Amino acid sequence: MSDGRVRPMQSDELDAVTAMMQSLWPAAGDYDFSDERVFVWEERDQGLGGFISFSIRPWAEGCESTPVPYIEGLWVAPHLRKSGVATRLVAAVEEWCVQNGYRELGSDVEIGNETSLKMHASLGFEPTLRLQFFRKILALGLRDRDVTRRRGARGEDREE
C-alpha cells in the first residue's frame, strides 16, 4: 500500500487536478469541476498522486436509484498504480455516499479500455449494460436564424 492519504481537494489544487484530468482525457481542456466533489491522493511529502471526482446525477444508465452518485473521473499516477490508491479513492467516495444516504455508485468505462474494466471489476463494480453512442452532424436548417456569413466573389457578405 502506498504511503499517503485521501482527502478533499483544496481550492489551490485545482490546476494540479485539472492537469491530472487532462492526462486522463487529453481533450478535456479546462475541465469544470464545479458540479463535482473531488478527493485527492496526497503522497507523503511528494504532492498529489491521484484524484477521483464524482457528481450527483439525476439518473444513470444501469442504476436503479435516483438520484445517483457517479464517478466522473479517476486517475492515479503511473508509479502508484496497482498499489491500492484507486481502491482508497473509491472507498472514500463510497463512504461519502453511504453517509449521505445513497445506496448505489455509478461509473462508466469505454468498451475498449481493458485496464479500467478490470479495475472496476476488482473494486466490486458490476457491469450493467453496454452502449454504443452515436452522433450525426446536422446541416444548418433554413429556419435557423444563426446563419453562417461568407464573403461572396465580389467581397460582399452573403448568408448561407
| C-alpha 145: how far from chain center | 35
> What would the pLDDT profile of 86-140 be if each residue is shown by its tens digit?
999 999 999 999 999 999 999 999 999 999 999 999 999 999 988 888 999 998 7
pLDDT of amino acid 132: 84
Q: pTM of the entire structure?
A: 0.81
Grid coordinates 452532424 are at which residue? Answer: 137
Helix (H, G, I), strand (E, B) or coil at 73: strand
Q: Which domains does the chain have, with CATH numbers?
A: 4-132 (3.40.630.30)
- Give the per-residue pLDDT at 90: 98
Which tens digit of pLDDT belongs to each residue from 4-57? 999 999 999 999 999 999 998 888 778 899 999 999 999 988 899 999 999 999
